[in-house]
Each structure stands twice: as C-alpha cells, then as structure tokens.
Amino acid sequence: MYGELVDVFLFHSGQEEDVEDRRLQSEYLAQLMRSSPRPSILLSYLVTKPNEGNYKTYVGEKSGMRDIDPSDWDRWCEYILYKGLRRTGYARVSRGTITDTEIQ
C-alpha cells in the first residue's frame, strides 16, 4: 500500500434485536464500499455469522469486498474485509468465548 491512498472503514453494526436497522446499515455501508475507486479495508463488528444474515451484503457483489478468511466459520462479529489488495498473510492469534477478546 506504500504510496497509494486506501480507504479504511471502521464500523459497528446495529444491535441484533433490530433486524431492519441492521439491514439498512449493511445496505448503506455496502454502497459506500462499492463506490470507492480506491483499495479498501473494513475493520468491523458486524453482528452476523459467516454466510448468514447480512453477511452477503458486506461480502460479494453488492460491496465488492472479500472476507480475509472465508473458511473461518467459528466467529460471530469480528470481520476484516478488503478489496483491491492482495492478501499476503493473515492469522487469528487467539480464539475466545467472547469475540471482543480475540486477536486477529
């Protein structure tokens, strides 16, 4: 990324109790990420399981973003997404019972 502008999105989605609020937030964020002409990274607390709920709004055609580790099925909220970059490495250092305590 040296010498290149990169958009970094930091986001905490709405409470899981309000499905419509979360849907609207995910649609808006997907539009923002998709519309950026620059490489982008999302560091987020999404309140969704992989491949369920609003996950496909954040990851895929609507947003243009890719999941840093789509094979990681054992997570609930912490996500790193990217577009326009080449992933050279990633590690989930710890796995906790509370996702806020995990290190990626």
Catalytic hit among 2, 8, 12, 41: 12
3-class secondary-structure state, position 101: helix
Of residues 98, 99, 61, the one with CA closest to residue 80: 99
The yes-or-no answer on residue 12 being catalytic is yes
DSSP alpha helix (H) spans, the chain: 19-35, 55-58
Tokens at 92, concatenated: 């989930």
How far apart, in whole angstroms, are the C-alpha atoms of residue 9 and residue 40?
8
- Return the active site residues: 12
